[in-house]
Each structure stands twice: as structure tokens, then as C-alpha cells.
Structure 1
Amino acid sequence: MRTSLLSVFTLLTIFNINYAQDRVTGQPFATRSEVLAQNGMVATSHPLATQIGLDILKKGGNAIDAAIAANAALGLMEPTGCGVGGDLFAIVWDGKTQKLYGLNASGRSPKNLTLDYFEKEGLEKIPALGPLPVSVPGAVDGWFELHGKFGSKPMTELLAPAIDYAEKGFPLTELIAFYMQRSIPYYESQGFPNIEDTYMVQNGGRLSNEGEIYKNPYLANTYRKIAEGGRDAFYKGEMAKTIANFIQEQGGFLSKKDLASHKSEWVEPVSVNYRGYDVWELPPNGQGIAALQMLQILEGYDFSNIEFGSTEHLHLFTEAKKLAFEDRAKYYADMDFVNVPVAELLSDTYAEERRKLIGERANRYEAGEISAGETIYMTVADKNGTMISLIQSNYRGMGSGMVPPKLGFMLQDRGELFSLKRGQANTYEPGKRPFHTIIPAFITKDGQPYVSFGVMGGDFQPQGHSQIVMNLIDFGMNLQEAGDAPRWDHTGGNSPTGETPEGTGQVRVESGIPYTTVRGLMDKRHKVGFTRGAYGGYQAILWDVENQVYHGASESRKDGQAAGY
């Protein structure tokens, strides 16, 4: 069935037919209508998590309460993308103060692990799996920071639905079942302990299939301890001791002191104005400003005369991406350790200089001179006008393969994203936050909230953010259509991890990009390819200030749902 559908899609693409057309509205790319509601909206990558968030809103909770409850559910229901072993970032529009707040809840590297260690071991890159890439998981502290500043209901009530599902079980969705059946055997083959006990023994000793009931009683117990004991139940005491001892037994360096000293950071979101709309991201150590740099460059072109999905559209977009990502490789890092020239990188003057480098053909660029990785994304809005844009991840799907005994989750491997080359902005140091791929986004218009959105997917995320902004603003798509429209990405170029591949990289296009565009890109000397599953996962909520109505949209490439009341 899947193969035949793919063949049909390929034929439709070749003949330039937009198969993804809404049957009611006739919108060329929408797979479904937008969801509309007045009192609140939740959009996540799992329908049950969406319903949990919606229930919290209906019971009088606010957007932050609902987001925490839904995120906890996703850690259970979508362990292939997130969990309490990972990090978290959020942008909050507070309906009371009428302003944006940014939270960086990413963890730091072990203080006892040095660059010298990697050099003595002869490592040129931090491994993707095992104990060495494990950094402090920041998600739980992120929950409590959000809750302490904005929350209204007790954490025991917010985590109760996820605890109940973890104990009683829930049916696995198609996509997550597929990912788990592909991931778990691989981790097992590496000889990592506690994989079978955590993910299989509790479910009859085998991997669950789509539609079968999946349980995680260990995670239920972990959530209960967090709900009752607060963030210290995770970062101090027995749970922290279990995590630290396990990592050190496996040859790693994460310690109880690393966990106990962890703290999140409230940061000021940064923005650029794109054709009258302010697009907001968080500053590094994340890659959000890459999307802003791309938009600054692309604003210099008149897209009212450029067709969506055309050769010119993809060419200009790809070249802008290359320029921004070279700066990403050189400058983006933990701002507690290096001076990242954010203002200069986002300035109109710098964008104009970089734009001049774009020609008619694919090119290779270097970073400008400045003087001076699977994830979940979700968003919630409430009746008081508060909106939260939240992204959370373990990196590389489920993470490092390191599963502490009887806690029910896997630890992240974000440390892989450090560079081991001395003298770079993102070079490994003890107690440093690694370069991060996960980024939430927000759009305001005339000082009022407009769209809370995100597009997960590693290096694709700034590209996805920019594509969504352009779809909404340049091409006039509605919220659902903007996410369902065919996507593309560019791979290649220098990386914050120190990798320096040759050539101009590759443009990979999704079904729905016309074959004439593919030929046109080839004529401009782009290398063009095709891939599946690399184009992220989108959720979004739009506030229609005129009608006082929320619009919700959910990613058609995932299992998700937008719902409101």
C-alpha cells in the first residue's frame, strides 16, 4: 500500500499536480481545514497529548499548565522524540503583561570531563551514543521554571494524566510504533543495559505494534516523584544518584554535582521584522537566529513576482540558507562562554552585504566577518490570551542509549553537537551548553500576538521556520496549508561540530515540488536529491485579533492533532 501510494505521489509530482488538496476549500496544499475555537487551543504531535492539554484548559488551567501536562504525556507517548532525559526551550506570550518571555532550559556538559580527555582518547568527534555525549537533562527544571512564573494548577494535577496513561497503558500510534521498532533493536544491539527492561519487559517482553497497548510503569513512578517532590526530586536525592552512578558505571562523567547545580535561564527573545511582521526566536546556544538571518536576506527579494515552489524561489532560499549556516558554524555557541554578535548578525546592513553574494548559480560561501538534531514541538493558547511555543527533545530520536535503571526514560546525547577542534566558538568545555538544534518560534504583528509555531527536525528547523513564515506572509497560505505545503531542505556546508564538507551540498525536495523546478535547480548547478522523513513536524496556533478566534494547525506528516474549545 505504501509503495503504491509513493508511486502515485511521484507521478503526480512529475506531472506537476498538487495532490495534497483540501476537498472542501480547494486550497492547493491543505490536507484538512484549520481548527477554530474561541476559548483555547492545543496543537501537539499526539492526539492523546492534545486532549490532555485541552482537558487542563477546560478545568481552568492556563496555557502553561496545559503545555506541561501535554509535554509530560509526550515523554511517555512519543519516547522516540522527547522525554525528561532531554532539554527544553520555550517562548511565552503572557496575556497579562502583554510581552514575550524566553526560556532556555538546556543542560550543560559534565564539569569533570575536559577537552584533554577526548584528545588523549584520539577522538575527533564526540560519539553519538553511549555515556560521553550525555549532558544534564534540562526539561524537568524547564517545567518548574515555567510553572513557577506562569502556572496556576498544582504539578500533581498536571502530571496525573500522564501517570495514569503510563500505568494503565495507551495504544501506540502508527509512526511511533514504527520508530520504536526501528530504534529499540538497534540500541539493544549496542549492548546498552536496561533497554529491554524499560521498553519491552513491561509490555509482555516484546515490542508493541501499532494499536497495541503500551505501558511504562517506571516512568509513572518517576513522574509521581517529580509531581510530589518538585524539581529537586529529579536533580537531587535518589533519582540524581541513580542517574549519575549509572553514567559513571558506563564510563561517563555526569555527576550528582552536575545535576544539583543545573539551572535554566530566562532570556530575551530576539527578532527581525519581515514585511511588517516581527518574527521571534531565542538567542544561541540554539540555532533560531539562523532563521532570522535567512529572512533578513530573503526580504530583499520581491516574492510577489516569484511563484511558490519555483526554481527561483528554491534557489534564493537555498543560497540564503547557505549564507546563514556558515555564520551558524562560526559564531553560534553558549553565550556564557563566547560573545556571539547577535545584533550584528541580524542587522539590515549585514544582510545586505550577504545578499550581494547570491548569484544565478549555486555557490559555496564562507562565514561573514563581524567586527567587534527527532524532537517534539507543541503550542498552547488559553482564554486569557497567553500562548506558549514549546520544543523538547532528546536528540537523535530516543537519545544516547543510556537508560538509568527503573526510571523509565533515556538520557539525551546533545553533547555530540560540541566541536572538538580547539579555538572554535562551540568547542567543548566543562560546564558549557552545546550548540542546540531545537528552536521555538513566534510571530507578532503591531505588538500583538499573531502565530505561535515551530517545525522540528534537526538542521532543518531554521529552514522550516523560514518556509512557514514565507508561506504565510509571501504566499498567503492559511495556517494548515502553510504546514502541508511541500518542503525542501539543503544539506552541506560547515557545521558547529567542526565538520567541513566540500562542495555546495544538496537540495532535497519533497513530493509536490514540480519536476520543472528540479530541472531548473540542476540548470543552476544545484545537486538535487529526494528523501523521506527529513522535513520536520509542524504545529501552530494563530490568533485572529479581529474576530477573537484561535486557528490551529497540525502536521499532516505526523500523528498529531490540533483541538480547541
Structure 2
Amino acid sequence: MRDFEQPGRSLVMSKDGMAATSHPASTLAAVKILEAGGNAMDAAIAACAAQCVVEPGSTGIGGDCFALYSRGGGDDIIAFNGSGWAPQAASVPVLRSMGVASIERHSPHAVTVPGAVEAWATLARDHGSMPFKSLFAPAIKLASEGYAVAPRAAADWANQVALLRLDKTSREQMLIDGASPAAGTLHRQPLLAKSLMAIAEAGPRVFYEGFIAEDMVECLTSRAACTRWTTSRSIAANTCSPSRRASVATRCMSVRRTGRASSRC
């Protein structure tokens, strides 16, 4: 039992549910979804979307998604792998022909097809209880109306200033007069709000085949000297062999890309 005469944290209890993230705004987004009648999966997806806004240094719609969850309060723990593949055009022979001997961390060749958005849609479809569109409402509001930059986010931001300055759009959207926003700064992301609204309205297809995908392809193409770099692919969730890593995951699900590539270098 905790000694209440000493500094420390008290045990948190709730009869209806709870949420915990690394940012108060994301936690609040999850709580609002629970209060609106959503289940744990709905709340988790809403929190992830909010994280893309308030902690851009660690979370983004251009990333991947991994989840551990139980269905219906059961004891079975399911591992979900929503990570993306490398673009189909990025084969070893093609990269070697371009003089690429290794994949540098910040190289355009290091960019994989983002799996997060499709993973959210798959998890919401299979295990959520609310319309996919409604899960993005908190994140859209944060991106369009603004949010206070948290101290940890500000510190991570400051560490990436030199990198952000290299790209025109990054400078315009993620820096203020060439500097990272300080803790407590009101920060808005109108372009991200536009993308989130499009995904909420049209679903994940707009991210992988619509204007968002086209913008990503144009950006990567300009840096990779390829005529076309990434591709539209059909994406579906599927199960694979059971996994018992550390006796935690009893089932593994992955996001698989299928279909013929429409791009080439």
C-alpha cells in the first residue's frame, strides 16, 4: 500500500472505463468518444488521430500502427501489425541502378507505404462501434482550431529544427519564423486538418489513391529522381500464424498489400 506521507502517484479507478496517452488532449479525445458511447477500440483510434496533431514528432498519419487488444473483454491478447511495405518500385536492382548503396535514415528511399490509416479503418470496421468519421472529430478540431504545445513535444520539436528547415513545406507548416514552437504555444495545422477531414469523409482510399497520395508521390518523386515512386495498392487485413512472443501475442494480424503496381522508376 502506498505511503501517502511520501510523494507518489495514487491508483486511478473508474467504473466506466479510462484512457491514458502521452498527451492530455489525446486522452481527452479518447474519453469523449467513450462518453459518446464508443468502445475501447473507438477511443484508441480517436486518441491515435489526435496524437498525429499534438505530437507530430512521434505520431503521424504517414506512419504505421501496432496494437494489442482483447475482443469483448476476453483473455486472448491479439497482436495487430499495421506496418507498411516498401514501395513496389523500390527493388534492390532499381536502387542500385540509381547509385543507392545503402538506405539512409532521412532518404526518400527509406519511406514505406504508410499503414496507419488503413489499420485504423480495419480495426474500426472489425471491432469498433461508432462511425469511422466520428472518430476523427477531436483531431480535426485540434488541427484546425489549434492546441497548446506540450513541454515534451516542444523538446522533441526543437531537436528536429535543422531537418525541418531543409524542406519548404515543413518550414512553413511546422516552424514559426524558422524556429520550433515553445511549450505553451498555440499551434495550428490547417493542411493536416484538411487531410483528416478528407479521410473522415471518404475513408482510407483517399489517403492511398486520392489527392493525399498524389501529394506524397509528387514529394517523393522530386527527391528520388524516379518518374513514379509509390503506388496505389489494395490493402486488406489478414491473419497469419499464431505468435507467442513473450507469451503475450496469441494471434498476429497484418496489413497486406496486394495488386499490380501502377508505378515504376
Report the TM-score, using the length of structure 1 for normalisation.
0.42
Q: CA 1:155 to 1:279, structure 2 compared with 1: closer, same or farther past 3 Å?
A: closer
**Structure 1 CA distance, aligned partners of 2:171 and 2:182?**
16
Listed one character per residue, the Cα deviations across residues 496-522 of structure 1 (whole Å, up to 9, x for unaligned) are xxxxxxxxxxxxxxxxxxxxxxxxxxx
Q: Partner of 2:112 in structure 1?
A: 135
Cα deviation code 1:33-85 (max 9, x no counterpart): 23222211211111111111011111110001101110000000011111101
Aligned mates of 1:99, 1:254 — CA distance in 2: 46
Q: Is the 1:140–1:234 Cα contact (8 Å) retained in structure 2?
A: yes
The aligned residue for residue 103 of structure 1 is 80
Q: Displacement, 1:165?
A: 1.0
Structure with more of its chain in strand, by fraction: 1
- In 1, the alpha carbon distance for the partners of 2:171 and 2:206 equals 25
Q: 2:194 aligns with which of 221, 225, 229?
A: 221
SS of residue paired to 1:43: coil
Correspondent of 1:280 among 249, 253, 259: 249
**Compared CA separation, residues 172 and 259, structure 1 to 2 (3 A):** same
Aligned residue for 2:70, secondary structure, equals strand
| DSSP 3-state at the match of 2:181 | coil
Which of residues 84, 87, 93 is equivalent to 2:64?
A: 87
Distance 2:208 2:71 in 1: 28
CA contact (8 A) 2:113 2:230 kept: no
The answer to whether residue 213 in structure 2 is matched with residue 240 in structure 1 is yes
The aligned runs of 1:340-419 (5 Å cut-off) are none
In the alignment, structure 1 residue 208 sits paired with structure 2 residue 188: no
Higher relative contact order (CA 8 A, sep 6+): 1
Q: Is the 8 A contact 1:101 1:267 kept in 2?
A: no
**What is the CA–CA distance in structure 1 between the aligned matches of 2:157 and 2:227, rounded to whole Å?**
26
Q: State which of 135, 144, 148 in structure 1 corresponds to 2:125.
A: 148
> Which SS does the other structure have where 1:243 is aligned?
helix
List aligned pairs for 1:409-558, cutoff 5 A: none
Deviations 1:409-431 (A, max 9, x none): xxxxxxxxxxxxxxxxxxxxxx9
Residues 96 and 212 of structure 1: is their aligned pair in 2 closer, same or farther, counting only changes over 3 Å?
A: closer
Q: CA deviation at 1:96?
A: 6.4
CA drift of 1:199 comes to 1.0
Coordinate RMSD, CA, aligned: 3.0
Code of the residue aligned with 1:116 in structure 2: it is P
Quote the Cα distance in structure 2 between the aligned partners of 1:130 and 1:90: 27
Question: Is the counterpart of residue 115 in structure 1 residue 92 in structure 2?
Answer: yes
Q: d(CA) in 2 for partners of 1:167 and 1:228?
A: 16
**Using the alignment, how far apart are the partners of 2:43 and 2:68 within structure 1?**
15
The aligned residue for residue 419 of structure 1 is: none
- Superposition map of 1:63-82 within 5 A: 63-82=40-59
Contact 2:29/2:138, CA 8 A, preserved across alignment: yes
Q: Do the aligned residues in 2 keep the contact of 1:171 with 1:210 (CA within 8 Å)?
A: yes
8 Å Cα contact 1:101/1:266 also seen in 2: no
Read off the aligned partner of 1:210 and give its amino acid letter. Answer: A
Point out where structure 2 has 5 or more consecutive residues left out of the alignment: none
CA deviation after TM superposition for structure 1 residue 263, in Å: 3.8
Structure 1 contact 236–256 (Cα < 8 Å) conserved: no
Aligned residue pairs total 257
The Cα of 1:25 is off from its aligned counterpart by: 7.4
Q: Which residue of 2 aligns with 1:517?
A: none
Contact 2:164 2:174 in 1 (8 A): no
Rg (Cα) greater in structure: 1
Q: CA deviation at 1:251?
A: 1.4
Percent of residue pairs bearing the same amino acid type = 30
CA separation in 1, counterparts of 2:155 and 2:57? Answer: 10
Question: TM-score, normalising length from structure 2?
Answer: 0.85
For 2:152, the aligned partner's letter is: L
Assess if the C-alpha contact under 8 Å between 1:91 and 1:269 holds in 2.
Answer: no
2:4 alignment partner in structure 1? 24
Pairing of 1:308-323 with structure 2 (within 5 A): none
Distance change >3 Å, CA 253–CA 45, structure 1 → 2: farther
Once the 2 structures are TM-superposed, how far is the Cα of residue 269 of structure 1 from its aligned partner? 5.2
Local SS of the residue matching 1:194: helix
Distance 1:104-1:154 versus aligned 2 partners, 3 A rule:
same
